[in-house]
Amino acid sequence: MKLTKINYGSAVIFGIMSFFLYLAVGILQWSMRSTLMAQGVSVHALQTFVEAPIIGGVAGYLMILFGIVVYNFIARRYPISWNVKK
């Protein structure tokens, strides 16, 4: 069996996972806002719940998409193959 191409649509799944990861980090940051404010770190709702998850999701999507493009480029020349016994 040869793996010579990865579907580009699979990068969307990683973008969605990155979005929810950064949203969870934002919720944690929002729950600790009083402690962070005491240390001089400002926490804004727009930044925590909108900007960070969207930018993180897009960045995660683009990084995986770049990885898939590089893999597909290399796999055309040097395909990964393995044998599966039945």
User: What distance in Å separates the CA atoms of residue 60 and residue 79, rounded to the nearest whole number?
Assistant: 25
Q: Is residue 10 part of a domain?
A: yes
Q: Is the pLDDT reported for residue 2 higher than 80?
A: no
pLDDT at 84: 64
Q: Output phi, psi for 27, to 5 deg.
A: -65, -40
- pTM of the prediction? 0.74
- Tell me whether residue 86 is in a domain: no
Following DSSP, what letter does each residue of the chain receive, concatenated?
-EE----TTHHHHHHHHHHHHHHHHHHHHHHTHHHHHHTT----HHIIIIIHHHHHHHHHHHHHHHHHHHHHHHHHHS-EE-----
Query: What is the number of structural domains in the chain?
Result: 1
| pLDDT at residue 59 in the model | 92
Structure tokens at 83: 């044998």
Please, which pLDDT band fits residue 1 given cuts at 50, 70 and 90?
A: low
Q: Residue 43 has what pLDDT? A: 87
Domain with 58 in it: 2-81
33-80 confidence digits (pLDDT tens): 899 889 998 889 998 899 989 999 999 999 999 999 998 888 888 877
Q: What is the pLDDT of residue 39?
A: 92
